[in-house]
Structure 1
Amino acid sequence: MTSRYRLLEEGNAMHRSIAAALAVLMLVGASEAWAQQRGPISKKLLVGNWSYVRAESVAKDGTRFPLVEGTNPKGLLIFDGIRFSLQIMSEFPKLASNDRLKTTPEENKAVAHGVLSYYGTYSLSEGDGVLTLNIERSSFPNQNGSSFKRVVKTLTAEDLVYINPSTLAGRVNTNVWRRVR
């Protein structure tokens, strides 16, 4: 083989090596970027007060539902290291009777559909980001005494996003929260 062909062959091998090294660097960079976006999944980072940003509930057929019905929902989610508490409520008109125990059927429906509140204990699997909520009591009584899994998609100093992959109604819920400062 002449020296000219040997140089071309060595040059092609070097180009292949450089291309392979660049591909590895791109994959490492992409996985690091994903990890930074998701953030470290740690119980210490989860502890605190979170303000409701939005939620989406999607049925298997693609139909979208609100997590709570009504206007301008607001909420608070608190993790203290062992226990948690969640409340999401829409705005309601004032009760006509001025007595919460004397309501109309329409007022009852607005409250039942416009409030989601529950509390209990929780655990977090830091390896796979699975948050288990052990619900002691809920405004939706079918949840009382049950454990439910949530998959944490984002956990940073400022943002928490988790998915409920299978609600009792057969939907997938995505919940977005922002840390209260």
Structure 2
Amino acid sequence: MRIAGQGRRWLCLTLLLLGLAAAPGVARAQAGRDPLAGTWRLASFDIVTSDGEVVDRVLGPHPTGALMYDGARMCVQLTRPDRPAFATNDILGGATDEKARAYESFIAYCGTYSLNEAEGVVVHHLEWSLFPNWAGTDQRRFFAIAGDRLTLTTPPFPRSGRQVTAKLVWERMR
């Protein structure tokens, strides 16, 4: 069987996630040393101004997703829960507009990460990303943990003439 292009990327991402999911003992063992280690479920994803005003919810009001840290590697997938199905069941098929809607409703990337607990910063060193411009880049996130809630915030970036940040709140999965 020959898998090309986009299908190969999806296959690799799926295999990586399955591998991470198959090793829960590793994540639990790392949890004593790394406060991020484990699997997290997305609770909210908002684009906010410096005063906390929500200006966008790029994946809708109730996005879903998972974030996994295992002490060395990380992987994240975010999506709209209402993504429409393609007219075909062929993973390499789909009309151009179906592919565009699927792309616009899904965010995914994987790689390694480094943690600076003193500064409250985690840097995701991306090896793969659905957004090709991020592959091979470092994505800095500020983090705060309160109980089983993890908040990740991006550095400020311009959007519609204002400086905003992306704020993602996660809940630890048990």
RMSD of the alignment, in Å? 2.4
Alignment of 1:1-181 (within 5 A): 44-58=34-48, 64-68=55-59, 72-90=62-80, 91-152=82-143, 154-167=144-157, 171-181=164-174
- Map Cα deviations across residues 19-69 of structure 1 (whole Å, 9 max, x no partner): xxxxxxxxxxxxxxxxxxxxxxx9622110000111112479x7722243x
Which stretches of structure 1, 4 residues or longer, exceed 6 Å deviation after superposition? none
Using the size of structure 2 for normalisation, the TM-score is 0.69
Distance 1:79 1:63, change over 3 A: closer
SS of structure 2 residue aligned to 1:107: helix
Contact 2:74 2:111 survives alignment (8 Å):
yes
> In 2, Cα distance between the equivalents of 1:167 and 1:141?
19
CA distance in 2, matches of 1:129, 1:43: 15
Q: Say if 1:56 and 1:175, in contact at 8 Å, map to a contact too.
A: yes
Task: Give the C-alpha shift of residue 128 in structure 1.
Answer: 1.1
Change beyond 3 A, Cα 1:145–1:124: same
Aligned residues: 137
Report the 3-state secondary structure (helix = DSSP H, G, I; strand = E; otherwise coil) of the residue aligned with 2:97.
Answer: helix
Gaps of 5+ in 1: 1-41
Amino acid at match of 1:130: V
For 1:134 and 1:78, locate their aligned partners in 2 and report how far apart those are by CA, in whole Å.
14
Which one has a larger percent helix, Structure 1 or Structure 2?
1
**TM-score calculated relative to the size of structure 1:** 0.67
Work out the CA distance in 2 between the residues paired with 1:66 and 1:81: 30
1:121-161 Cα offsets, whole Å, 9 max, x none, are 11111111011110111011110100011111x21341000
- Residue 105 of structure 1: CA displacement? 2.5
The gaps in structure 2 that reach 5 residues or longer are 1-31
What SS does the aligned partner of 1:102 have? coil
Identity over aligned residues, as a percent? Answer: 29
